[in-house]
Amino acid sequence: MAAARAAGSGLVLSRPVTFVTGNAKKLEEVRAILGDSIPFRSIKLDLPELQGEPEDISKEKARLAAKRVNGPVLVEDTCLCFNALKGLPGLNNLLMAYEDKSAYALCVFSLALGPEIEPITFMGKTPGKIVPPRGPNDFGWDPIFQPDGYAQTYAELPKEEKNKISHRSRALSLVRSHFAQADNAPTALRATTTNRAVDKLSQVCLE
């Protein structure tokens, strides 16, 4: 099999990265954001439902997926985090009963270049707030999340605009940079443990 090289990258892979997802909308966004900068294919794998910190979940899924495909994989864990809650009483209660509706969308990608290689994580975060649903209801919690600096929810924003500022876009920007810098600084942009302090205040995440 011919080696695959990311566009403009010194990182050469024995095969394209496998992006693990069964979500067509998520795949559409990733393709739109990455373009041809990183060669990848996508497959759906039945991986166990894990509990814990988003970074830990993403890394463990990457380890499992790399063993399953026996090659490089990219795995994502995404959540919507509420700053004010210690538990999840339900969305309606959240909207009606709590003054603090601030939140952030968090995306963690883990890249494992093989089954025996420790995954590298990349985090993207977009702050915003929870609002009553607006816009098309065809992609998770997009209708209820309004990013800071915008009058529209994720669901109401044009796709091109959302893909500039979304948590997914910010995480993928780090992935793309990692590939681009791999020949000069192989360890550059490894996610640091400080990223795990992503506002570890009282929070609840919705996948």
Q: What is the mean pLDDT of residues 92-116?
A: 83
Q: What is the mean pLDDT of residues 69-81?
A: 92
CATH assignment, 17-180: 3.90.950.10
Percent of the chain with pLDDT over 90: 57
Q: What CA–CA distance (Å, rounded) separates 136 from 139?
A: 8
* 49 annotated among ligand-binding-site residues: yes
Q: What CA–CA distance (Å, rounded) separates 79 from 33?
A: 19
* 168 annotated among ligand-binding-site residues: yes
* 87 annotated among ligand-binding-site residues: no
Read out DSSP for 42-55? EE---PPP--S-HH
* 142 annotated among ligand-binding-site residues: yes
* 60 annotated among ligand-binding-site residues: no
Q: How far is CA 169 from the centre of its chain?
A: 8
* 162 annotated among ligand-binding-site residues: yes
How high is the pLDDT of residue 6?
45
How high is the pLDDT of residue 91?
57
* 31 annotated among ligand-binding-site residues: no
Domain coordinates in residue numbering, the chain: 17-180
Residue 198: is its pLDDT beyond 60? Answer: no
* 140 annotated among ligand-binding-site residues: yes
Residue 103: is its pLDDT beyond 60? Answer: yes
How high is the pLDDT of residue 77?
92
Q: Nearest-CA neighbor of 131 among 112, 115, 110, 147?
A: 147
* 77 annotated among ligand-binding-site residues: yes
* 124 annotated among ligand-binding-site residues: no
* 97 annotated among ligand-binding-site residues: no
How high is the pLDDT of residue 145?
94
* 22 annotated among ligand-binding-site residues: yes
Residue 94: is its pLDDT beyond 70? Answer: no
* 71 annotated among ligand-binding-site residues: no
